[in-house]
Amino acid sequence: MTADKIYLVGFMAAGKTTVARALAARLGWRVEDVDALVEARERRTIADIFARQGEPHFRALEREILKLLLPLRHVVVATGGGSFMDPENRAAMNMDGVSIWLDVRFEEIVARLPADGRRPLAADRAQLERLFAMRQVGYANAHVRIDAADAPAEEVAERILDALRER
């Protein structure tokens, strides 16, 4: 495998953070989580950022964090669900490393989502379904698509490594 950086992209609750940890452990690499870095930097939750300053402000913070991660090598980056939708972010990720789309069916996403308000974009199911359909088109621009449904993180990490070996 020649890639020295992997970006995991996909919808909220697709397992990006959990798979990133499993994959990084297998590779002996570092793991970075964009959402966690935004929360740490801002010292508040993403739900709070959305509520107080809105999604555009959150997306600007997300873009800044992604830029800070660009120089890092031998790292698996778990991105936010909307990170890859921004054309600037998508181009940067696709030029900087290998983007891997963790594809999970909508019904499984819904089953995984907590009903505690931590996911501001998941409050309305019809809106969530429209967002899911719209984002699928963007995720299709990732270098590799991995079926991440109904599988433990370790198995998804193996699928990723197999796909990378085949590239």
List pLDDT tens digits, range 59-89. 999 999 999 999 999 999 999 999 999 999 9
Assign residue 17 the CATH number of its domain: 3.40.50.300
Write down the pTM of the prediction. 0.92
Measured CA angle at 53 (ends 49, 57), to 5 deg: 85
Mean pLDDT of the chain: 92
Query: Is residue 132 within a helix (H) or strand (E), and if so which, with residue range?
Result: helix 125-139
| Sheet bearing 144-147, strands edge to edge | 30-33, 75-78, 5-9, 98-103, 144-147
The pLDDT score that the predictor gives to residue 119 is: 57
pLDDT over threshold 80, residue 122: no
Measured CA angle at 85 (ends 96, 115), to 5 deg: 120
Structural domain count of the chain: 1
Name the residue range of residue 43's domain: 5-166
